[in-house]
Amino acid sequence: MLKDSHLRFVSISHRTAPVACRERFYVADADKEALSVLLHEQYPDLNSFLLLVTCNRTEIYFESEETSSKQVLDTFLKFKLGKNKPEEQCLFTTGDKTEGTVRHLLRVAAGLESTVLGDAEILHQVKKAYHFALERGLQGSLLERAVQTVFRSHKRVSNETAFRDGTTSTAYKALKLIGDLFRTQAHDKKILVVGAGDIVKQLLKYNAKFGYTNVWLTNRTESRAIQLAQQHKLNCFAWNSLLQKQISEFDVIISAVSNQSALISGGLDSGRKLLLIDLAVPGNIDSRLAQQPNVVFSDLDNITTHLEENRASRIEATAKVEQVIREEWELFTDWYRKQPLREVLAQTKKQTLEILRKHYASKHCEPAQLTKTADQIVRKLLKDPDLLNNSNAIEALIERMAPLQTV
């Protein structure tokens, strides 16, 4: 009998570790190839590999016959830390059962395990990880089937539930306001982002989806602004210029700086439509600017109102999402539980064809006739599954059968 292959996983996420710990296990794009090569060299039975890396989680999915998730975790710790620290293992969750791994992947990809319930960005990260595997031929049969199940689940959730309606991210909503206000001209607008904290980092991450390119970044600590700007290929704007109100060139200002009340109080162009978005507490933008006829102003209060409406509808849709995932998971497990027998039957048919070809090597039988006979033999062997892949049993059946017609 063939050995069973299992889809397994190793995970560290916001549910198991604080951000300071998770950051140490972030795998940059430049290091993904090296990790893949290391694992495949060390564990030859790995025949699939998917590395999911987001701001909130790092997860390794792999298919193997014998190599366990614990072994892969040990290697990963050495890869990131230079040595295996047992005390770090408690930060991770692992799984060695295919059914459990697929259930976990389905929940992660649906956004049920995200900090933002229903976060659609996670699916883009899954697709990115999947393409990395495809490009290197590392998808494997179980992983391939699991990912296709994820894609089918996502389509059903989008079509059958309200789970994808709106967003529950303040940063995402802020960027969406730009498109809602300026429509087709949104990508021509000059945008100033003020700050370098968590909300701004989320903004810049989501901007990869919106694709605004004329974005400038400023922050009290210039080095942080430079670092973020380089990471996201943005322009830097001098903090002193902001303080001196030299900001008339911008069409959109999004501010999220702590302890800077009324940081922005003037210097705007009064001749064209402007969008001011204040994501800070206390507010950074003088609310009196909203009285200017050309200014559209939004702060956390009105953004939160929309977000709460969206979140409520998503929570209401969660039960339906769970049902979709359960149904798709059951389809996968039904396929998976039949897979070992399917593989054994395929191996038995291959073995039977080889014996038939040798048996009739000098008699020139039609290939279609050999295939038909091999199918008949496999069906007979199925009556006693212990005889599958048994060459003696196959040869005995061939001897008892009527001779094949020759050409």
| pLDDT tens for each residue of 262-299 | 999 999 999 999 999 999 878 899 999 999 999 999 99
Average pLDDT, the chain: 89
Q: What type of residue sits at position 129?
A: A
Q: What distance in Å separates the CA atoms of residue 36 and residue 233, rounded to the nearest whole number?
A: 28
CB 116 within 8 A of CB 42: no
CB 4 within 8 A of CB 340: yes
Q: What distance in Å separates the CA atoms of residue 169 and residue 310, rounded to the nearest whole number?
A: 10
**237: nearest Cα among 202, 264, 272:** 264
Residue-level length of the chain:
407
Instruction: Give me the residue label for tokens 């893949």.
Output: 36
Average pLDDT over residues 83-110: 93
Q: Can you read off the two tokens belonging to residue 333?
A: 């497990």
| Three-state DSSP state, 242 | helix
- Of these ranges, 98-102, 309-313, 361-365, 382-386, the one predicted with the greatest mean pLDDT is 98-102
Cβ-count burial 381-392 (b if 16+ within 10 Å, e if not): beeeeebbbeee
Residue 356's CB is within 10 A of a number of other CB atoms, namely 21
CB 9 within 8 A of CB 59: yes
Checking if the pLDDT of 343 tops 80, the result is: no
Checking if the pLDDT of 165 tops 80, the result is: no
Q: According to the model, what pLDDT value does residue 369 have?
A: 82
Checking if the pLDDT of 308 tops 70, the result is: no
Q: What distance in Å separates the CA atoms of residue 130 and residue 46, rounded to the nearest whole number?
A: 16
Residue 1 pLDDT level (bands cut at 50, 70, 90): very low
Q: What type of residue sits at position 176?
A: K
Q: What is the pLDDT of residues 32-60, one digit of tens each?
A: 999 999 999 999 999 899 999 987 899 99
- For the chain, the first-to-last Cα distance in angstroms comes to 36
Q: According to the model, what pLDDT value does residue 114 have?
A: 84
Q: According to the model, what pLDDT value does residue 162 have?
A: 81
| Three-state DSSP state, 116 | coil
Q: CA-CA distances (angstroms) from residue 350 to 246, 308, 323, 343, 395?
A: 77, 59, 40, 11, 13
Q: What is the pLDDT of residues 204-233, one digit of tens each?
A: 989 988 999 999 999 999 999 999 999 999
Q: What distance in Å separates the CA atoms of residue 37 and residue 41, rounded to the nearest whole number?
A: 6
Burial class (CB within 10 angstroms; exposed 0-12, middle 13-18, buried 19+) of 226: middle
Checking if the pLDDT of 2 tops 50, the result is: no
DSSP state of 291: G
- Of these ranges, 61-75, 153-167, 308-322, the one predicted with the greatest mean pLDDT is 61-75
Q: Can you read off the two tokens belonging to residue 104?
A: 């976990």
Q: What type of residue sits at position 84?
A: N
Q: What distance in Å separates the CA atoms of residue 49 and residue 143, rounded to the nearest whole number?
A: 8
Q: What distance in Å separates the CA atoms of residue 269 and residue 276, rounded to the nearest whole number?
A: 12
Q: What distance in Å separates the CA atoms of residue 281 and residue 180, rounded to the nearest whole number?
A: 24
**234: nearest Cα among 250, 248, 214, 219:** 214
DSSP state string for 211-271: ---SEEEE-SSHHHHHHHHHHHT-EE--HHHHHTT--TT-SEEEE--TT-TT-B-S---SS
Q: What distance in Å separates the CA atoms of residue 83 and residue 76, rounded to the nearest whole number?
A: 9
Q: What distance in Å separates the CA atoms of residue 55 and residue 187, rounded to the nearest whole number?
A: 26
CA 326 to chain centre: 19
Q: According to the model, what pLDDT value does residue 282 have?
A: 80
Residue 309 pLDDT level (bands cut at 50, 70, 90): low
Average pLDDT over residues 242-257: 97
Residue 96's CB is within 10 A of a number of other CB atoms, namely 15
